Amino acid sequence: TDAPLVLGIETSCDETGIGLVRGHTLLADEIASSVEEHARFGGVVPEVASRAHLEAMTPTIARALDRAGASLADVDAIAVTAGPGLAGALLVGVAAAKAYALALDKPLYGVNHLSAHVAVDQLEHGALPKPCVALLVSGGHSSLLLVRDLAQAVVPLGATVDDAAGEAYDKVARLLGMPFPGGPPIDRAAREGDPAAIRFPRGKYDDGTLDFSFAGLKTAVARWVEDRRRAGEPVPVADVAASFQEAVVDVLTKKAIAACREHGADHLLIGGGVAANSRLRALAEERCRAAGIHLRVPRPKLCTDNGAMVAALGAELVSANALPSRLDLPADSSLPV
C-alpha cells in the first residue's frame, strides 16, 4: 500500500518494543525484554530497565527493519511513547525517537501509552467502531476509557485507586511461591482449582463508579494464606489462585459492561498484559454475549507492551493530519490520556 511507513518506539516499562506499520498493516513487531533481569527482584527495577533499553534500541530497530524488508530511509514518520510509564525508561525511547526524527528529517509523534494499547487492535480487527469502551489491564495500569476518536478524544472513565490488576496477580503469585510475572502461573494453577472455594472481597463492586481497587483483595488473600500456614494446614494453591482470579475478573467485566451501558457503546476492547488471562477472556465473552456487546481482544502478543501499538497510533495520527510533536517533546511519567 501507499500509506506512510511509521516506526513506533515503546520503552515505558521493561520491553523495548519496535514496530513498523503502514495504515492498519503490521509489518514488523520486535521486542527485547529485560523481564528476566527483574525476575529475581519480583518486580521491574527502573534503573535496570533504562540501561536495557539503551542497549537494545539500535539492534531492535535494525531487526524490525530487516523483518519488514525496509531501510531507515523508507521511514515516513516516527512515533514514540511519551508516557505514562517509568520516567528513565521513557526518556531512552523519547531521546532515540528525536534523534531519528532529526537525522531522517521526518515528523515525530509523541503518543500516550494507553491510547496505543487501544490503537493496536486495528492491526488485527480493522477500524475501531466509535464509540467504543476500552478496558486496559496490565502490571502498571487498570483503566476504563471511552474512545470516541483515537486521534483526539479518548476519555478516562475510571481507573484503579491503588494496585493495578496485573500487580495484584504478581503479588499474589509471590505469596504462593510462584515466579514473576505472576499472571501466567496463576492462570494455569487456577484451571485446577475451584473459583468458588473461597469468597474473596470484590473492591468497589457496587460503589456506582467505574474505578477499581485491588489492594484489599491482595491483603485478604495474604491474610487467608497466613492463617492457614499459622494453623499448620496445607494451602490449597489451586483453589486460592482460582478464587482470587474470579474476584479480579468478576469486577473487571462487571465494570466494563457498566461502562458500555452508561456511554452507549456496543463494542468493548480489552488490552494490556492481563487481557491474556484465559478466565478474563471467557467471562468477558459470556457477559458481553448476554449484554449484546461485541468483544474485541487482540492476540496476546499485541496485548502486552510492544512497538506495534505505538506505530499503530502514530499511523492513526498521520492519517488524521495531526500536528507532529516538537523536538523538545518531554517524557511524562504520568501523562494523562
Annotated binding-site residue? 137? yes
Spatial distance between the Cα atoms of 146 and 300, rounded to a whole number of angstroms: 22
Residue 93 found at the interface with ligand KG4 (CB under 6 A): no
In the three-class reduction of DSSP (H, G, I as helix; E, B as strand; rest coil), residue 96 is classed as helix
Site string for ligand KG4, 132-161 (x = CB under 6 A): ------xxx---------------------
Find residue 78's DSSP bridge partners. 7, 108
In the bound state with ligand KG4, the residue whose beta carbon lies nearer, of 6 and 302, is 302
Spatial distance between the Cα atoms of 313 and 328, rounded to a whole number of angstroms: 20
Spatial distance between the Cα atoms of 61 and 76, rounded to a whole number of angstroms: 15
Cell numbers standing for residue 207: 460503589
The type of residue at 77 is A
Annotated binding-site residue? 85? no
Question: Contact 274/166 with Cβ under 8 angstroms?
Answer: yes
Give Cα 141 to chain centroid, integer Å: 7
Residue 182 found at the interface with ligand KG4 (CB under 6 A): yes
Cell numbers standing for residue 171: 503479588
| Binding residue (CB under 6 A) for ligand KG4 from 29, 121, 163, 170 | 170
Q: Of 302-321, which residues contact Zn ion (CB under 5 A)?
A: 305
Give Cα 90 to chain centroid, integer Å: 15
Site string for ligand KG4, 235-274 (x = CB under 6 A): -------------------------------------xxx
Site string for ligand KG4, 4-23 (x = CB under 6 A): ---------x----------
Question: Contact 178/225 with Cβ under 8 angstroms?
Answer: no
Binding-site residues for Fe cation sit at 113, 117, 305
Binding-site residues sit at 113, 117, 136-140, 170, 183, 187, 277, 305
List residues binding Zn ion (CB under 5 A). 138, 305
List residues binding ligand KG4 (CB under 6 A). 13, 138-140, 166, 169-170, 181-184, 187, 272-274, 276-277, 304-305
Binding-site residues for substrate sit at 136-140, 170, 183, 187, 277
